[in-house]
Amino acid sequence: MPVLASPLPHDPTALIDAQLLAAKIRSSIATQNLGLAPKVSVIVDGGGQLSLDGLTADVRLRAITHGEETKLLVLLGGDAASARPLGLAVPNDATALVRDMLAAIAAHGPEARAADILARDGAAPFLAAARGRLELAAPLSVQPHCETIGLHLLIDGCCAMAVGLLFGQAHALDVIALLRMARANGASWVATAPQRTLLLGRVREMTAFALGTAADTLGFIVDARDSRRRVVACAGAPACASGLIPARTLAAQIAAHLPQGGMAVHVSGCAKGCAHPMAAPLTIVGTAQGCGLVKNDTAGAHPDTYMNEEDVMAETVRLIRRELADA
């Protein structure tokens, strides 16, 4: 069962050592045969530079300042915006508290999730499991969007550098090459981070710029303004047996002609929409009739129109630019 923690060690802005607490939680539940659903997860957010608010979890701990103390806000189900706050806990109670929250989920069966229990029974099962270790808390204020790609200062004056994986993917040989370059430049650790990025640390600031140049050469994203971040794409054909169009190839071609801005296009090899199950401003989906175009909906929606691969790039760019002009 995944227990995720804030990925940046030695973060000068963090309120707690999230990685240490996550390790204690893992150790505490390792010997427990809880029989949880495969996707049940825990998040420990130390309140530092890299927020985990966008990730979903059954049990979420967020370090906050409460008066003159550091407390842990306990939330259940969803991401930070949709999760239900249960109360505040002291850090020393966190390990046992999470274990008991997970036991409460397991008591509802091997397929149970926190959100389902909340919808059916409310917070009562979890408050009972807390056994008086929680105090009332105000709703969580979701942290402003934090940019992952780039440099992040550490306690000792060094920094960590985050690079993005193009469309969330990378070839193993490119990752190996990047890690070898990072090690040659003094980095001693690597961690996965939100927004499909890799964190490399710890390095000196000037060294980080050289490492960024090397990462760019290998095809990683090193500039947060990179237009390729406006496109979400799955593996597509031929990598995926379900893919009916070369999603990554089309995504790269489209991104090269897009202006800067937020997420604009989802390219899906088929109607499953694995890379982005939600609605997008424009979705290109692989179908037996060619590339289907879906506006403001998911890949599973009925396409508004169909066209071949040769024409879809120009039409997509035209639609996005027209939308920007009308905004």
Superfamily of domain 3-130: Sulfite Reductase Hemoprotein, domain 1 (3.30.413.10)
Is the N-terminal amide bond of 230 cis, ω within 30° of 0? no
Instruction: Note the CATH number of domain 150-224.
Output: 3.90.480.10
Give 326's pLDDT tier (boundaries 50, 70, 90): low
- The DSSP secondary-structure symbol of 135 reads B
Q: Quick one: which of 46, 72, 41 has its CA closest to 58?
A: 41
Query: For 218-308, where are the alpha helices, taking DSSP H only?
Result: 247-255
- Domains 150-224 and 228-326 alike in fold: no
Bridge partner list, 65 = 70
Give 31's pLDDT tier (boundaries 50, 70, 90): confident
Tokens matching residue 262: 């937020």
- Please write the tens of the pLDDT for every residue from 94-105: 999 999 999 999
**pTM (two decimals):** 0.86
Instruction: Note the CATH number of domain 228-326.
Output: 3.30.413.10
Measure the CA–CA gap between 101 and 114, rounded to whole angstroms. Answer: 9
- Please write the tens of the pLDDT for every residue from 36-64: 999 999 999 999 999 999 899 999 999 99
DSSP string covering 87-104, please?
Answer: EEE-GGGHHHHHHHHHHH
pLDDT of residue 23 exceeding 90: yes
Measure the CA–CA gap between 65 and 63, rounded to whole angstroms. Answer: 7
Give 29's pLDDT tier (boundaries 50, 70, 90): very high
Domain positions in the chain: 3-130, 150-224, 228-326
Q: Which pLDDT score, from 0 to 100, does residue 325 have?
A: 64
